[in-house]
Amino acid sequence: MSLHDKMRLATRIIHFGSHPDPHTGSLNVPIYQTSTFVFKSAEEGGRRFSGQEKGYIYTRLGNPNHVVIEEKLAMMEGAEAAVCASSGMGAIAAAFWTLLGQGTHVVADKTLYGCTYSLLKHCMHRYGVETTFVDCSDLKAVEAAFRPNTKLLYFESPANPTLAVYDIEALAAIGHRHKVMVGVDNTFCTPYLQRPLEFGVDFVIHSATKFLNGHGDVIAGFVAGTKAFIDQVRAEGIKDMTGSTLGPFEAFLIMRGIKTLPLRMDRHCANAQVVAEHLAGHPMVESIAYPGLPGFPARDLVKKQMLLPGSLITFNVKGGFEAAKAVANAVEMCALAVSLGDVETLIQHPASMTHCSYKPDELAEAGIGLAMLRVSVGLEDPADVIADLDQALAKA
Ligand code: 4LM
């Protein structure tokens, strides 16, 4: 066993797949900002297109900046392979279009990122794909939702924005009993906190826009899974069906961000724990969800599946919709913005923002209240985050 094989995760996240550039010695992979690659001959071009010979063709089909982050993400998730995409939604759409087709059916959790919900609820049925939304904490309801034409079981854990944590191992087992693919969106955790493939799921989705990049300056996504599935997603979902190719510069920034992931996640989670404990005792807070609080409903699953409880907090403000809006409008340091996983603390109102694709009754069904705010705790001193939230809550 080589020294490389024995390295711990934090070390491998920095060193795995990094080879100095053979031409210049550049420690970091240079940015291959090119759309196309020149063939030495027509025969070579033909061999590359037919798959007889490895090599680059055109950046929609692959680029050296893609390869380095795909291999790194696959290593981190414990997957055979990964493919990057131009957004988290690009990754989701590429995976779904690869798996699904006319006359197929999906079982999905009722609480999903708003655009994923919209894709399944409002768009895919136009092409003959139906979805049954269930509560993934109710395993009997999940079991009962399968049909003979079901092809996919899909959920997020923790779910956006309620932070509901589901039993990944039990859900994977149910899906496999019904012979369907099981996919999990692991965006809120990153593979540093949670590796769903180890609990039996078939593929993992990431919005790399969030913690993986970590600096709020890129939109990107990943699908990770078996080599056979990823090859298919790359060849059909990315190349032909969505064309959602990541730009080389964005791939370079993801590489840069991933190197500090363990450091950032440790601090994100430590900060969120302090902020959550403070909010839990705040007189203006009606209820709070944070997987690191003792009263969190699925604490046993958090301990089983997650290294740390993450940095998202959701809370309901006393006084309803108007009070929640007043808090959102009163923050001074925290940014009133969607997205998550940035160095800055971000606060948003899911019912009117990220989850506005849910109708009022669907919001209630999904557990998304009008008085709910979601905070992505950043890397500031948590005392300053608390001071800002306190002064904003005082105005509710
Ligand atoms: C947000 N989220 O919640 P791109 N999967 C999950 C997500 O939270 C998101 C995506 C996929 C938010 C964005 C505005 C669990 C996005 C989609 O934005 O396409 O990279 O990821 O605030």
Q: Could you confirm whether 60 is annotated as catalytic?
A: yes
3-30+62-258 CATH choice from 3.40.50.620, 3.40.190.10, 3.40.640.10, 3.30.70.20: 3.40.640.10
Average pLDDT over residues 147-164: 98
What is the distance between the alpha carbons of residues 23 and 34, in angstroms, rounded to a whole number?
17
Contact 290, 298 (CB under 8 A): no
Average pLDDT over residues 116-127: 97
Pairing of strands 372-376, 346-348: antiparallel
* Residue that has been written with the tokens 């990943």 in this structure: 222
Whole-number Å distance, alpha carbon 115 to ligand 1 midpoint, is 8
| pLDDT, tens digit (0-9, with 9 covering 90-100), for 14-56 | 998 878 888 899 999 999 999 999 999 999 999 999 999 999 9
pLDDT at residue 1, as a whole number: 67
Residue ranges covered by each domain of the chain: 3-30+62-258, 262-394
Comparing CA positions, the residue from 326, 331, 291, 314 lying closest to residue 369 is 314
Cis previous bond, 382, omega within 30: no
Q: Could you confirm whether 239 is annotated as catalytic?
A: no
Superfamily assignment of 262-394 in CATH? Aspartate Aminotransferase, domain 1 (3.90.1150.10)
What is the token pair recorded at 65?
Answer: 């900046």
112: Cβ below 6 Å to ligand 1?
no
pLDDT at residue 22, as a whole number: 86
Which of 185, 202, 342, 388 is the catalytic position?
Answer: 185
* Portion of the chain with pLDDT greater than 90, in percent: 96
Q: What are phi and psi of 312, to 5 degrees?
A: -100, 135
Does the pTM of the predicted model rise above 0.95? yes
109: Cβ below 6 Å to ligand 1?
no
| pLDDT, tens digit (0-9, with 9 covering 90-100), for 329-382 | 999 999 999 999 999 999 999 999 999 999 999 999 999 999 999 999 999 999
Torsion sign, CA atoms 5, 65, 207, 139: negative
378: Cβ below 6 Å to ligand 1?
no
What is the token pair recorded at 229?
Answer: 């599935």
Helical H segments across the chain, by residue range? 3-6, 9-15, 42-50, 64-77, 88-99, 114-118, 139-145, 168-177, 190-193, 227-232, 248-258, 261-280, 299-305, 320-330, 360-365, 382-393
Whole-number Å distance, alpha carbon 40 to ligand 1 midpoint, is 41
250: Cβ below 6 Å to ligand 1?
no
Q: Could you confirm whether 210 is annotated as catalytic?
A: yes
Distance between start and end Cα atoms, the chain: 60
Please tell me whether residue 163 adopts helix, strand or coil conformation.
Answer: coil
* Portion of the chain with pLDDT greater than 70, in percent: 99
| pLDDT, tens digit (0-9, with 9 covering 90-100), for 297-308 | 999 999 999 999
Whole-number Å distance, alpha carbon 88 to ligand 1 midpoint, is 6
Whole-number Å distance, alpha carbon 339 to ligand 1 midpoint, is 6
At residue 148 the predicted structure's pLDDT band, cuts being 50, 70 and 90, is very high
